[in-house]
């Protein structure tokens, strides 16, 4: 597991990156994704429900149903997925766990952590999943 994100969030990221490797609008089933990425079937179902409710995915029931990206892949950035699943609180938590830590009353690690995390979140907000999918395909990295 990552340090940073919940397991749900990791699964969501990997799955949406998987979808981004498909042709735009192509439908894919949970079954295919869960078996390719080794994600528990029903757990992924719940995650995709949440992503649908948040407007990142569309779905269709039935024998030839499945999920597809609600927007062109180049318009979805990694940060969108993270916020949809884990929420945006993760950007404002004190790294030492002090409840009263904030900009006006910073803990001793506040400023180091602030620049560190802002840089990282910025890069997550710049990375769209089309580019990510291309990198993965190019490197043969866990390719579909």
Partner DNA sequence: CGATAATCAGACAAATCCGTCTGAAATCGG
Partner DNA sequence: CCGATTTCAGACGGATTTGTCTGATTATCG
Residue 24 lies near DNA (rule: CB under 7 A): no
Of 24, 35, 49, 102, the one binding DNA (CB under 7 A) is 49
CA distance 72 to 92: 30
Q: With CB cut-offs between 5 and 8 Å by kind, which of a second copy, DNA, none does residue 125 bind?
A: none
- Which of 73, 124, 143, 144 binds a second copy (CB under 8 A)? It is 124
User: Phi first, then psi: what are they for 40, rounded to 5°?
Assistant: -55, 130
Q: How far apart are CA 66 and CA 13, in angstroms?
A: 18
Name residues whose C-beta falls within 8 Å of residue 142's C-beta, 6 or more positions apart in sequence. 37, 136
Residue 4 · residue 12 · CB < 8 Å: no
Work out how close the CB of 110 gets to DNA at its nearest, in angstroms, rounded to a whole number.
Answer: 21
54: phi then psi, degrees, rounded to nearest 5: -80, -5
Distance of alpha carbon 18 from alpha carbon 136, whole angstroms: 9
The interface region with DNA, picked from 14-22, 57-65, 108-116, 119-127 by CB under 7 A, is 57-65
Q: For the CB of residue 55, give the shortest distance to DNA in the complex, in Å.
A: 12
Is residue 113 a contact point for a second copy (CB under 8 A)?
A: yes
Residues at the interface with a second copy (CB under 8 A): 1-5, 7, 10-11, 13-14, 17, 78, 90, 93-98, 100, 105-109, 112-113, 116-117, 119-120, 123-124, 127, 131-132, 135-136, 139, 141-142
């Amino acid at each position: 597991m990552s340090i940073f994100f919940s397991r749900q969030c990791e699964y969501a990221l990997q799955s949406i990156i998987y979808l981004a490797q498909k042709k735009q609008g192509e439908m894919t089933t949970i079954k295919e994704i869960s078996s390719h990425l080794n994600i528990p079937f029903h757990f992924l179902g719940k995650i995709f429900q949440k992503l649908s409710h948040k407007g990142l995915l569309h779905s269709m029931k039935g024998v030839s149903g499945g999920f597809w990206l609600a927007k062109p892949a180049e318009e979805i950035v990694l940060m969108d997925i993270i916020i949809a699943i884990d929420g945006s609180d993760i950007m404002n938590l004190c790294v030492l766990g002090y409840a009263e830590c904030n900009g006006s009353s910073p803990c001793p690690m506040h400023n180091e952590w602030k620049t560190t995390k802002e840089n990282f979140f910025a890069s997550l907000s710049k990375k769209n999943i089309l580019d990510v999918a291309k990198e993965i395909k190019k490197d043969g990295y866990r390719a579909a």
